[in-house]
Structure 1
Amino acid sequence: MTGCCHNEHCAPAKTTGAPQWRRALWIALTINLAMFSIEIAAGVAADSASLQADALDFIGDSANCAISLMVSGLALTWRARAAFAKGATLMAFSLWVIAITVWHALFHAVPEAEVMGAIGLMAIAANGFVALLLYRFRTGDSNMRSVWICSRNDVIGNAAVLLAAAGVFGAGAGWPDIIVASIMALLGLSGGAEIMRHAARDQRTDSMPAVARAE
């Protein structure tokens, strides 16, 4: 890859191991692990499918950041492989969220709206900070982009949890929680597929002859 950075796919290879990138990942990893612990406990206590779904996103993001730290500075091919694996993992987490959502729908659980709202506000603040932290890396290689996509999706998911809490409070029923959890699962599936497509493109780019990449 040395000396071939003349297009959008190989240029990020120069900066992917930069101290700024690694520092941002460590901060994001710490925040995501802390929020997973808080949100999974609250989701179980409040019997909320959307909170549990959001908690799974936090642990998925933690793994995402950890893997990104491991491959930071490696060749584009390895970063693309890591990103592909992370996309597949995100889709697997989304399928697990679907399973949780179905379970809640069958048993008609009514979650505690107050807990959902309080934890949702905390989560959107945490994810909003992480998303802003990672915004500058959103146009990097597939590995960088995978972290940004997950953070972006989480902010959307947190906003949806707040809407679900308002819906549960107003309707006195669990269906808003079920709907939001389902939307979050679909968002995860879409994000995972996007990450995998970008990773596959990076792998194809890195396998091209150096002359072809420079054109």
Structure 2
Amino acid sequence: MSGCHCNDTAKSLSQFQDATRRRVLWTVLVINAALFIGEFTAGWWADSSALQADSLDSLGDAGVYALSLAVVGGSLRRRNGAAVAKGLLQGLFGLVVLAEVGRRLLFGAEPLAPLMAGAAAIALLANLACFRLLMRFRGEDLNMRSVWLCSRNDLASNAGVIGAAGIVALTGSAWPDIVIGTLIAMLFLHTSWQVLREAWPGWRHPAAACSKETTP
């Protein structure tokens, strides 16, 4: 009887933890989807590579959170598979941002600093809220830790856009915007490599990953 009771307690705790994860993931997904729409629109009006790159970061995060929601409570291989998909998504967005930066280098740009700074400041406040919600999961499995990594990157991206806007306003040059857009793309690619390096072996060889995860 005591064994059954312990099993029931463990199952209830696991279900409660999964429900908590889903609630938090839904919250940050909605926030990031809204940020994408707002930042992309502002980036288009402001003619800003950095702000559009930041908006793609929000779109990528919304996709990452959706993938994480799909595998909450799933098998280790399924969770690692979701992490692989996240890594590929981050890499794709990095390449898209680099292409956009290249286009602006060829055809020129005149970013509007006040709009850049205002939109990035709003995004920074929203992402700080997401970061606090996700911080509790940073020590969990790769699926949830990759979510936290994305949120951490958001703060760096937002701060970079605000800094770029300030320098654009002071100098009247578009180069700070282009440089920050490039750095955000590099951050995408670095995160992609980091997640893929950890997730790929676990997805290809789930038994070995499971053994490693359970070894104290």
Change (3 A) 1:115 1:70: same
Deviation at 1:214, TM superposition (A): 4.2
* Structure 2 match to 1:64: 64
Deviation at 1:200, TM superposition (A): 2.6
Q: Does 1:35 align with 2:38?
A: no
* Structure 1 match to 2:174: 174
Determine if contact 1:116/1:165 at 8 Å carries over to the other structure: yes
CA deviation profile, 1:127-151 (whole Å, cap 9, x unmatched): 1110111011011111111111111
Q: Secondary structure at the match of 1:18?
A: helix
CA deviation profile, 1:6-48 (whole Å, cap 9, x unmatched): xxxxxxxx58962111111000001001111100000001100
Q: Does 1:46 align with 2:36?
A: no
Deviation at 1:117, TM superposition (A): 0.5
Q: Secondary structure at the match of 1:208?
A: helix
Change (3 A) 1:15 1:53: farther
* Structure 1 match to 2:122: 122
CA deviation profile, 1:170-200 (whole Å, cap 9, x unmatched): 1101000000000000011001111112213
* Structure 2 match to 1:10: none
% same residue? 41
CA distance in 2, matches of 1:139, 1:214: 16
1:91-106 paired onto structure 2 within 5 Å: 91-106=91-106
CA deviation profile, 1:53-94 (whole Å, cap 9, x unmatched): 000011100111111111111101100011011101100100
Change (3 A) 1:76 1:47: same
* Structure 1 match to 2:84: 84
- Unpaired runs of 5+ in structure 1? 1-13
Q: Secondary structure at the match of 1:134?
A: helix
- 2:133 alignment partner AA: L
Q: Which has the higher helix share?
A: 2
99-108 or 38-47, which deviates more: 99-108
CA distance in 2, matches of 1:90, 1:37: 18
CA RMSD of aligned residues (A): 2.0
Deviation at 1:202, TM superposition (A): 3.6
TM-score, normalised to structure 1, is: 0.88
* Structure 1 match to 2:9: none
Rg larger for: 2
Change (3 A) 1:134 1:209: closer
- 1:167 alignment partner AA: I
How many residues get paired? Answer: 202
* Structure 2 match to 1:9: none
